[in-house]
Amino acid sequence: MKFDVAVLGAGPGGSTLAALLAWRGVSVALVDRDTFPRDKLCGEFLSYDALPLLDLLGIGDEIERRGAPAIRRCRIVSRRRTFEFELPHSARGVSRLLFDELLFRTAVARGAQPFDGWTAESIDHNALTIARAGESHTVTAGVIAGAWGRWGRFDTQLARLFARDRSHRSFGFKRHYRGASPGAEGAIELYSFDRGYLGVNDVEGGLTNICGLVHADRLAGHRGRWESFVTAIRSEEPPLDTMYSRYTPAQDDFLSSEPVIFRGRRAVERGVFMIGDASGIVDPLTGNGMAMAMQSALLAAPLILRALRPGSRTEIEAEYIAAHASMFHPRIRWSRAIATLLSRPAILDAALRAARPEGVGRMFVRRTRAELASVQRMTEAWRISSSV
């Protein structure tokens, strides 16, 4: 099977890239081991700087119609203080069940060929081996885009350095709840606990998502039982206990997944253009990972189009690496600094006492995402070049 581009992974990054390229008449294979809809570990806070991309792909109205609530405020709850500030623009609370399926269907509707339910097993130059239930195929493509998320078999296969790190691993946990009022209504709430934090926000369907991140060394003794871990943090931090007591679980169990390793990674690896988490990880507390994944697709798409033309790709790859670093590295750095503060409840308390939280909060929000206007300019440029 021959394609111009094979996109490996149909999360927000991969599906956005596939949709953009297929729109331009490029033949695209979109491969994912999952079938859609499917749930995924995530805070499900969709930052405002993703919204121009939703409009570009024509799904902004659909998300609104399906009831994804607007999130206008951020509330930080520490041991002794709570402070709240307006976000510069409204974000959305949207489940990954809904969001990823919409993006995947959009890519397919634009012309990408779906290989959902197919696991990619190996990459060899421009060939990808995919397998499903004893069947296997080779997909060849002019360009392979790696959108497989934060951690996977290809990170080891491509000998990526971060994958060897065993000492700086964190794990996420999430569960949907039904809440009593007052809930998080219209706000994202952030809570701190020792070596971790969690966020609370509403999503569509009258549900509230509670999703957290914790350093691996705090999980010893809980034997993978998230219920036991949550009981422990509730007993340590009274505000967390109060928050959890407002809700009852709407899902049978917690969802967790691969380790989160906050180490730098290259945006192009042996000719594979990396998109989304595979290209760099912003700390989850920012709620900017999905936006960044979609923006990296928008950044890479024109360069991938150029890479499909005959000639050397070295310059194009270097251009993507440089543009990726300039767009994303500052927000990744800021996100780590803020996460360090949020994972230390006593220090967070002291910081909230000393600082003027309103201004600082808004500054942190701005530093950890793109300016809305700059994403709008990028989407407009893509729209114009697609209509020529």
Ligand X SMILES: Cc1cc2nc3c(=O)[nH]c(=O)nc-3n(C[C@H](O)[C@H](O)[C@H](O)COP(=O)(O)OP(=O)(O)OC[C@H]3O[C@@H](n4cnc5c(N)ncnc54)[C@H](O)[C@@H]3O)c2cc1C
For ligand X, the closer CB: 40 or 313: 40
Closest distance between ligand X and the C-beta of residue 315, in Å?
25
For ligand X, the closer CB: 66 or 80: 66
Whether the CB-CB separation of 276 and 17 falls below 8 Å is answered with no
Closest distance between ligand X and the C-beta of residue 172, in Å?
3
Amino acid at 334: W
Closest distance between ligand X and the C-beta of residue 40, in Å?
6
Closest distance between ligand X and the C-beta of residue 42, in Å?
4
DSSP line for 25-55: T--EEEEESS-SS----S--EE-GGGHHHHH
Closest distance between ligand X and the C-beta of residue 299, in Å?
13
For ligand X, the closer CB: 128 or 143: 128
For ligand X, the closer CB: 44 or 237: 44
Whether the CB-CB separation of 5 and 142 falls below 8 Å is answered with yes
For ligand X, the closer CB: 350 or 372: 372
* CA-to-CA separations, 81 to 84, 239, 377, in angstroms, rounded: 10, 10, 39
Question: Which contiguous run of DSSP H or E holds residue 120?
Answer: strand 119-124
Closest distance between ligand X and the C-beta of residue 362, in Å?
18
For ligand X, the binding residues (CB under 6 A) are 9-14, 31-34, 41-47, 119-120, 147-149, 152-153, 172, 211, 213, 260, 276-278, 284, 287-291, 293
For ligand X, the closer CB: 216 or 315: 216
Cβ-defined contacts of 100-103 (< 8 Å, 24+) = 100/10, 100/11, 100/12, 100/15, 100/36, 100/37, 100/38, 100/40, 101/36, 101/37, 101/38, 102/59, 102/62, 102/63, 103/10, 103/12, 103/15, 103/16, 103/19, 103/57, 103/59
